[in-house]
Structure 1
Amino acid sequence: MPPGLTGPIDDFIRHLASEKRHSPRTCDSYQRDLTRLAAWLWHDQCGEWRKVSSHDLRRYVATLSREGLGGRSIARHLSSSRRFYQFLLRERLATDNPALDIRAPKSGRRLPKVADVDQLSHLLDASPDDPLEVRDLCMFELMYSSGLRLSELAGLNLDSVDPKGGEIRVLGKGSKERILPVGSKALAALKAWLPLRTALAPEPEQALFVSRRGDRLSRRSIQARLSRWGVAKGADQKMHPHMLRHSFASHMLESSGDLRAVQELLGHADIATTQVYTHLDFQHLARVYDQSHPRARRHQYDGNDRNEKNSAE
């Protein structure tokens, strides 16, 4: 591809990293999206960003849709383009923002998959067979106990957890720190893991969860270990880290009904993000309604009720 397409992308990514202080992961996401767009433009014989029109971007959106991308993924691509063109306008490398008025196609909102309480209890009550499984159990208890993201769990250090206070300090999205409560089961699992960690990790290592080699456990390794744990302990569905976070949110909301509190625990900036967990089924709501409202309990006829009704008629 020509420098007229790739050069501004590189400048934009440096801008995000140095001036906006975005994480490497966020910068990589922008780089992938914009490089994909640049490749499409070059194939379409367009070699400069200032020549791109709204019509071009609409055709690009149609291409992404034909390639199987969903509405949410296409919306992210458009968001990357809008942000990029804001930078180009500032640098006087473009005269308008062709992505401003383009909307992604709508796609059905996918509800997060959750595990029921009984299944999670079965998995988390299983006994570990070796020191690494003691570590794994501690990780999974913490994720379910406090609703941690995978990146938050992987980033925990020894000083992130206060066992006496029953609290954990995590660094969430946008480098926002929050303090979360830790349940007794997770604290017990932590107490079992820490002595074993000492035997694996060298003195300078601060990571709470380390590999067999003694270095910080990667996100990919945590995913693999949870999947392995689910298979070994008899889960009836594939286990992944976000399922534990989703299950935490769903179970908390079912029990408390306090959407705002669940939002704070999850670290969501917008309560609309948390509202996806309000997908309680009608049977559950009806059962709570019947049990809670003294004048709303619906009368359910059994055979005798029907006989009495018929005789009365």
Structure 2
Amino acid sequence: MTWEQLWEQFYYHLRIKRRAKTTLHFYGTTQRALGRFAAAEGSLPDTPEAVRVLHLRAFMTWLEVQGLAAGGIHAHVRSLKSVFAWARREELLSADPSLRLERPTLPRHRLATMTPESVASLLTAARRTAQPLRDVAVLLTFFDTGLRLEELITLRREDVRPEKGVLRVIGKGDKERSVPIGTKALTAINSYTLRERRARHEGVRELFLGRSGLPMTRSCISILLERLAAQTGHQRAQATPHTFRRGFAVEFLRNGGDVFTLQQILGHSSLEMTRRYVNFLDEDLKVAHLRFSPGDRL
């Protein structure tokens, strides 16, 4: 089996499992990086069957020399482990060369999280854009629901159900779920729909549209958030769909929500996945210490 055949069969497997386009893009990034490594170093065997863990470690070292951070290398390791483990289960390979491939240790930095104060400043800037009603609705929907980027841009008009106070969302793996949404966000969506949304033709069913009347893309959202961040003095990394998602999770728990409901809203298959999104700020830790301090209870 050639490398091309291996990747082709793996992508076919992912499509059968109805994995999202972003998932296929994730593995495609590793495939392209591995191809560049093979072209630059010439040390990667011509067939996957001949690959050993030493070849994969050499690939990781090459990525580090190229300047890739530990997080990026960690992602490539996860990708390779998934591909080779799948190939071994399918008996396409006689052995899994990635079994002993070590994942790099990741620095335990607190991830950027959107705060209510930051959202307020971004909303102020959004009200001055060329499409203020749309942009305000986008920000409020992100912060009030914790939707993933792909879930937001594929949201359709009929998915908004104000009578129930929920959105019908199609998440990863083509799984459907209902996501609660508050009055302010619903009002913003309604104002945008009535006064500003202009579809190019009747076949455009997506809720959030660009100036052309066609659905917003990932790059449209990225450009919007980048511009709003620059106008409000935020770093680019502080205003991303995932910082909104983390901010939603933190505020949901701060306001009395429970982690099991949060898991359902975020569309996670396990509590461990939900836990990764919850970055409590220092204030929360201090409040918890005041309530449960062992020293104070002596």
- Give TM-score, length-normalised by structure 1: 0.81
Tell whether the 8 Å contact from 1:167 to 1:179 is kept in structure 2 after alignment.
yes
Structure 2 matches for 1:10-49, cutoff 5 A?
Answer: 10-17=8-15, 19-41=16-38, 43-44=42-43, 46-49=45-48
Q: 1:298 to 1:65 in 2, by over 3 A?
A: same
2:177 is aligned with 1:178: yes
Cα RMSD of the aligned pairs, angstroms, is 3.0
- Matches of 1:235 and 1:32 in 2, distance apart? 31
Query: What is the identity, as a one-letter code, of the residue corresponding to 2:20?
Result: S
> Which structure is larger by alpha-carbon Rg, 1 or 2?
1
SS of 2:164's equivalent?
A: coil
Tell whether the 8 Å contact from 1:138 to 1:190 is kept in structure 2 after alignment.
yes
Tell whether the 8 Å contact from 2:127 to 2:136 is kept in structure 1 after alignment.
yes
Tell whether the 8 Å contact from 1:197 to 1:209 is kept in structure 2 after alignment.
no
2:153 is aligned with 1:154: yes
Query: What is the identity, as a one-letter code, of the residue corresponding to 1:165?
Result: K
Displacement of 1:175 after TM fit?
Answer: 1.6
Q: 1:102 to 1:53 in 2, by over 3 A?
A: same
Displacement of 1:298 after TM fit?
Answer: 5.9
Displacement of 1:65 after TM fit?
Answer: 2.9
Deviates more, 1:75-84 or 1:125-134: 125-134
TM-superposition CA deviations, 1:96-145 (whole Å, max 9, x none): 11111212111113422123323323433667246611111011111111
Q: 1:72 to 1:271 in 2, by over 3 A?
A: farther
- Matches of 2:287 and 2:5 in 1, distance apart? 61
1:302 aligned residue: none
Deviates more, 1:106-115 or 1:61-70: 61-70
Displacement of 1:211 after TM fit?
Answer: 1.2
Tell whether the 8 Å contact from 2:250 to 2:278 is kept in structure 1 after alignment.
yes
- Matches of 1:264 and 1:164 in 2, distance apart? 20
SS of 2:102's equivalent?
A: coil
2:244 aligned residue: 244
2:98 aligned residue: 99
- Matches of 2:186 and 2:276 in 1, distance apart? 29
Deviates more, 1:189-198 or 1:35-44: 35-44
Displacement of 1:279 after TM fit?
Answer: 3.8
SS of 2:131's equivalent?
A: helix
Structure 2 matches for 1:1-313, cutoff 5 A?
Answer: 4-17=2-15, 19-41=16-38, 43-44=42-43, 46-89=45-88, 93-124=92-123, 128-129=127-128, 132-232=131-231, 234-238=232-236, 239-256=239-256, 258-287=258-287, 290=290
1:305 aligned residue: none
Aligned residues: 293
Tell whether the 8 Å contact from 1:49 to 1:93 is kept in structure 2 after alignment.
no
Tell whether the 8 Å contact from 1:150 to 1:219 is kept in structure 2 after alignment.
yes
SS of 1:256's equivalent?
A: coil
Q: 1:265 to 1:164 in 2, by over 3 A?
A: same
- Matches of 2:106 and 2:131 in 1, distance apart? 41
Displacement of 1:283 after TM fit?
Answer: 4.3
Q: 1:64 to 1:31 in 2, by over 3 A?
A: same
Displacement of 1:236 after TM fit?
Answer: 4.2
Higher RCO (CA < 8 A, seq sep 6+): 2
Tell whether the 8 Å contact from 2:161 to 2:167 is kept in structure 1 after alignment.
yes
Deviates more, 1:84-93 or 1:22-31: 84-93
Q: 1:53 to 1:154 in 2, by over 3 A?
A: same
SS of 2:168's equivalent?
A: strand
Query: What is the identity, as a one-letter code, of the residue corresponding to 1:8?
Result: L
Tell whether the 8 Å contact from 1:33 to 1:80 is kept in structure 2 after alignment.
yes
- Matches of 1:41 and 1:93 in 2, distance apart? 21
Q: 1:214 to 1:54 in 2, by over 3 A?
A: same
SS of 1:98's equivalent?
A: coil
- Matches of 1:277 and 1:216 in 2, distance apart? 28
- Give TM-score, length-normalised by structure 2: 0.84
Query: What is the identity, as a one-letter code, of the residue corresponding to 1:287?
Result: V
Runs (5+) with no aligned partner, structure 2: none
Deviates more, 1:31-40 or 1:83-92: 83-92
TM-superposition CA deviations, 1:254-285 (whole Å, max 9, x none): 23262222222222222222223444345433
Runs (5+) with no aligned partner, structure 1: 300-313
Q: 1:145 to 1:53 in 2, by over 3 A?
A: same
Q: 1:171 to 1:235 in 2, by over 3 A?
A: farther
